[in-house]
């Protein structure tokens, strides 16, 4: 499997670069080939308006979806390991519902002046963090270590609660405002600015590096809680680190692009099928595949119905269904 990684990883890196370039070259605005290259090399005669579209609109957006795809795939792979559950994903701990409820409440209920000052991204991040803390609180059992199954059930309970909050605000909201909130719920990276990228990039770099440094401990965790403890791994501490990493990555992703589902669930499975489950190969490939998938989906969302844009969630759900069915069939065979 690791020899396959040596072939697949560089190939995936090249593919990621090509998709990123495609994401910059194509979009809703029609730009001629000569202008595209003039803009990219920042030639003096490049049209200013189009140059603005590429440098202030497309490039930060492509980088953002690449980083978000990589981050969600990394968070998904880590959550599946921490909970030893192949169906775990970054949104499992109520994160998406918490973020959605907070954002929708802010968009529909809070005065525009307040939402303007705080910003929907910050409010969404706060919602995700609150939901995470509630899930973690509900998962604690006195005298016992955290049970992965209890975490999942607690996540479901918290999600249901926040979903009812979201549904309530969508129901009572003004239809125009509700449409705005729905767009956010279905995920979009439109309007991403350069200033939003450094924190996400830095967090991703730090969490990815730490995860790779602890790849042996993560491997041992796959064998079971007690097995890992017998090998000298402090599983409780490791799991808290993974939960915090997931909240940071997912919270930042949600704050930039709204709810982007399925990447964290499906992409780690794809990577596992290709190179196996050892984290030193699984995590890098998951991140690159996550970036490729989300950049490609974002490009399609921008171009399929141009000049109108589709939300990310529409196409992601469509692309996620076939691999999801394959994974389910594989799980059934294995059991």
Partner 1 sequence: MQADFALNIRDLSVEVGGRPYVRDVSLAIPKGEIHCLLGPNGSGKTTVLRTIYRALRPSAGTIVADGRGIDECSHHEWAQKAGALVQSSGLLAGLTPEDIVEIGLSVLGLSGADLARRRDEALALVGLSEKRGQPADRLSGGELQRCYFAQLLASDPEIYILDEPTNHLDLHYQLVLLNEVKRRGRTVLMTLHDLNLVARYCDHIHLMSGGKIVDRGKPSDVLTRQNLMTHFLVDAYFDAQSLVIAGPVVT
The residues of the shown chain that bind partner 1, judged by CB under 8 A, are 1, 80-81, 84-86, 141-144, 216-217, 219-220, 222-227, 229-234, 272-273, 276-278, 282, 330-331, 334
Using the minimum distance from each CB to partner 1, give the nearer residue, 120 or 146.
146
Please name the residues in contact with 323: beta carbons below 8 A apart, sequence gap of 6 or more: 266, 269, 270
Q: Which is nearer to partner 1, 148 or 183 (CB)?
A: 148
Q: What is the three-class DSSP state of 142?
A: coil
Closer to partner 1 at the Cβ: 81 or 126? Answer: 81
Please report how many Cα atoms fall inside a 13 Å half-sphere around the Cα of residue 174, on the Cβ side. Answer: 7
- Cβ nearer to partner 1, comparing 82 with 101: 82
Residue 326: exposure state from Cβ atoms within 10 A (0-12, 13-18, ≥19): middle
Q: Using alpha carbons only, what angle is made at residue 202 by residues 187 and 208, rounded to the nearest 5 degrees? A: 85
Q: Give the separation between CA 128 and CA 109, rounded to whole angstroms.
A: 18
Q: How far is the CB of 99 from partner 1 (least distance, A)?
A: 27
What SS3 class is residue 141? strand
Q: Which residues of 207-241 are buried (b: 16+ CB within 10 A; e: fewer)?
A: bbeebeebbebbbbbeeebeebeeeebebeebbeb
Q: Which is nearer to partner 1, 47 or 276 (CB)?
A: 276
Residue pointed to by tokens 């072939």: 7
Least Cβ distance, residue 238 to partner 1 (angstroms): 11
Provide the minimum distance between the beta carbon of 243 and partner 1 in the complex, in angstroms, as a whole number: 17
Nearer to partner 1, 16 or 220 (CB): 220
As measured in angstroms, the least distance from the Cβ of 224 to partner 1 is 3
Strands (E), 222-285: none
Minimum distance of partner 1 from residue 267's CB (angstroms): 14
- What is the smallest separation between the CB atom of 193 and partner 1, expressed in angstroms? 38
**CA–CA separation, 68 vs 40, rounded Å?**
23
Residue 247 Cβ, how far from partner 1 at the closest point, in Å? 21
CB nearer to partner 1: pick between 85 and 303: 85
């Amino acid at each position: 499997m690791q020899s396959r990684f040596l072939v697949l990883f560089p190939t995936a890196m090249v593919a990621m670069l090509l998709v990123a370039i495609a994401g910059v070259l194509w979009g809703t605005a029609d730009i001629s080939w000569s202008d595209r290259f003039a803009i990219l090399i920042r030639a003096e005669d490049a049209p200013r308006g189009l140059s603005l579209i590429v440098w202030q609109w497309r490039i930060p957006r492509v980088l953002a979806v690449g980083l978000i795809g990589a981050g969600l795939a990394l968070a998904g792979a880590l959550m599946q390991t921490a909970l030893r559950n192949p169906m775990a994903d970054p949104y499992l701990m109520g994160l998406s519902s918490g973020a959605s409820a907070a954002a929708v409440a802010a968009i529909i209920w809070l005065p525009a002046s307040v939402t303007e000052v705080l910003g929907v991204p910050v409010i969404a991040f706060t919602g995700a963090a609150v939901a995470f803390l509630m899930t973690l609180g509900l998962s604690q059992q006195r005298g016992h270590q955290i049970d992965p199954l209890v975490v999942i059930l607690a996540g479901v309970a918290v999600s249901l609660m926040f979903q009812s909050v979201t549904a309530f605000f969508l129901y009572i909201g003004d239809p125009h405002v509700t449409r705005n909130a729905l767009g956010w719920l279905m995920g979009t990276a439109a309007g991403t600015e350069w200033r939003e990228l450094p924190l996400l990039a830095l967090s991703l770099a730090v969490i990815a590096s730490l995860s790779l440094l602890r790849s042996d401990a993560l491997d041992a965790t796959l064998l079971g809680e007690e097995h890992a403890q017998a090998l000298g791994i402090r599983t409780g501490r490791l799991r808290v680190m993974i939960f915090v990493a997931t909240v940071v990555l997912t919270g930042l992703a949600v704050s930039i692009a709204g709810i982007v589902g399925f990447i964290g669930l499906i992409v780690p499975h794809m990577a596992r099928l290709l190179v196996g489950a050892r984290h030193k190969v699984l995590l890098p490939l998951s991140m690159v595949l996550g970036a490729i998938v989300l950049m490609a989906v974002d490009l399609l969302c921008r171009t399929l119905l141009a000049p109108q844009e589709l939300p990310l969630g529409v196409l992601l759900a469509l692309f996620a269904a076939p691999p999801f069915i394959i994974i389910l069939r594989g799980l059934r065979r294995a059991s």
